[in-house]
Structure 1
Amino acid sequence: MNTIAERLQSAYHQITQECTKLGSNPANVQLIAVSKTKPLAAIEAAYQQGQRHFAENYPQEFADKASQLNYPDLIWHFIGPLQSNKTKLIAEHASWFHSLDRLKIAKRLSGQRSDTQPPLQVLLQVNISGEATKAGIQPEDLMSLAEEVHQLARLQLRGLMAIPAPSDQQPVEHSFQRMQQLSQELQQAYPAATELSMGMSNDWPSALRYGATMIRLGTAIFGERTYERNE
């Protein structure tokens, strides 16, 4: 499989197969094509094959691409860490923000989101593996941040996101299972928070087994990345 079209077709076929094995509906799983560091032509190629959900990790690269590929049905997700001086880029261009982990960022995004736009759909990022170098809130802080975010007028709380790290002490499946539990707890308080963004090119089948509704595929769609970009 050398082309983006072939990789996309394969990915959707595999998702359907996995969902069939699980007895779940593949229509409930959103494949998000992670296009960070990839040229506009690659995104265009995926778009021409029917892909509509794309994600970026770096604010300036994201804003540049969103400005240049301004298709009304293209849905942009921002999934990377975000500093407070870059929130306006996300507020202006994103439909979804997956990596919210601070109230300060939430308030800035809400304040900078235009009244003419629909509310920014947000997911709270959980540092489910407890990594000191990884972004995300601790599980015990989830409900307090959710309550604060729920009050912000231009944001809509839609669920959770995580990037688990496998280790000898904690297999990635353990993290996925814990995220599923947290998602269920969150939905009890906020019924609209149904989304669970987890699973990437190397572990998405396991994520599906634990209730992932959004899987983020980069290498599986676009091939290996280069990392020359501007933040």
Structure 2
Amino acid sequence: MTSPADRLQAVRDRIAAAARAAGRDPAEVRLLAVSKTWPADAVRELAALGQADFGENRAQELTGKAAELADLPLRWHFIGQLQRNKAAAVARLGAVVHSVDRLSLARALARVGVETGRPVEVFLQVDLGGPEGELAARGGADPAEVPALADAVAAEEGLALRGLMAVAPRGAAPGPAFGRLAALAQRVRADHPEALDLSAGMSADLEEAVAAGSTLLRVGTALFGTRPLASGQDESHQSHGSQQPG
């Protein structure tokens, strides 16, 4: 079995090679280690190797792990489907929320941002659909609704719009889907120049995501190994029947 250091270096090498192949500076692409279901000790191992950004998809697991690892200067990201009644706990941790797909959730997060005086950084999750182009119903806003949602989020005092996030459709080549996401991101940036980031790409498709302009890759399996997931779940997400990043 390879060591955490070997796995981390292998992923970094893949990212650098993908960036160079796309004519991009590898420094433009950051790595988010998806640590969901893995113990805090696994996070601590990667943190000791210089990895600072970690993603979780359940609020309870995120808050528990953050408390256990409070001695480390980590940057937490929430990548799961977030219920409004859990939004405050996630926001108070200072976590970046990747899965805002509706205004009601955005406003719940914004209230905490106003109360704490620290705007909550958010990504808008986009539903890229399935192989026939239908909406996938795994979380994410309809692409046609994203520009209006971006306008509403950008207007909230307690939020900071970072950009868009999406998961490639199951059963289809990821490249075209990431291309559509990149075009939508460009449209959103035209009105909101601060929305510079694009959260896309996982262990299996990070090269295609980098080629499409991703700035933040959500990688789990390639860093930690295969997770013992229940039937029907993928490597990255498991709540509300949605495919989510990892």
Interval of TM-score (by shorter of Structure 1 and Structure 2): over 0.9
Q: Would the aligned equivalents of 2:56 and 2:62 in 1 still touch at CA under 8 Å?
A: yes
- Residue 174 of structure 1 is matched in structure 2 by 176
Residue 227 of structure 1, CA deviation = 4.5
Q: Would the aligned equivalents of 2:128 and 2:136 in 1 still touch at CA under 8 Å?
A: no
Correspondence 1:165 to 2:157: no
**Identity percentage of aligned residues:** 38
Correspondence 1:139 to 2:148: no
In the aligned structure 2, how far is the partner of 1:3 from the partner of 1:118? 38
Correspondence 1:193 to 2:192: no
User: What are structure 1's unaligned runs of at least 5 residues?
Assistant: none
In the aligned structure 2, how far is the partner of 1:74 from the partner of 1:2? 24
**Matched letter for residue 32 of structure 1:** L
Residue 93 of structure 1, CA deviation = 1.1
**Matched letter for residue 218 of structure 1:** G
- Residue 11 of structure 1 is matched in structure 2 by 11
SS of equivalent to 1:36: coil
User: What are structure 2's unaligned runs of at least 5 residues?
Assistant: 231-238, 240-246
**Matched letter for residue 104 of structure 2:** K
Structure 1 residues 52 and 108 mapped into 2: Cα distance closer, same or farther (>3 Å)? same
Residue 112 of structure 1, CA deviation = 2.0
In the aligned structure 2, how far is the partner of 1:54 from the partner of 1:105? 22
In the aligned structure 1, how far is the partner of 2:10 from the partner of 2:89? 33
- Residue 36 of structure 1 is matched in structure 2 by 36
Q: Would the aligned equivalents of 2:59 and 2:89 in 1 still touch at CA under 8 Å?
A: yes
- Residue 224 of structure 1 is matched in structure 2 by 226
Structure 1 residues 10 and 175 mapped into 2: Cα distance closer, same or farther (>3 Å)? same
Pick from 198, 212, 231 the counterpart of residue 210 of structure 1: 212
**TM-score where L is the length of structure 1:** 0.93
In the aligned structure 1, how far is the partner of 2:169 from the partner of 2:136? 12
- Residue 84 of structure 1 is matched in structure 2 by 84
Q: Would the aligned equivalents of 2:127 and 2:167 in 1 still touch at CA under 8 Å?
A: yes
In the aligned structure 2, how far is the partner of 1:114 from the partner of 1:196? 25
- Give the paired residue count: 227
Residue 150 of structure 1, CA deviation = 0.8
Residue 118 of structure 1, CA deviation = 3.0
In the aligned structure 2, how far is the partner of 1:4 from the partner of 1:226? 18
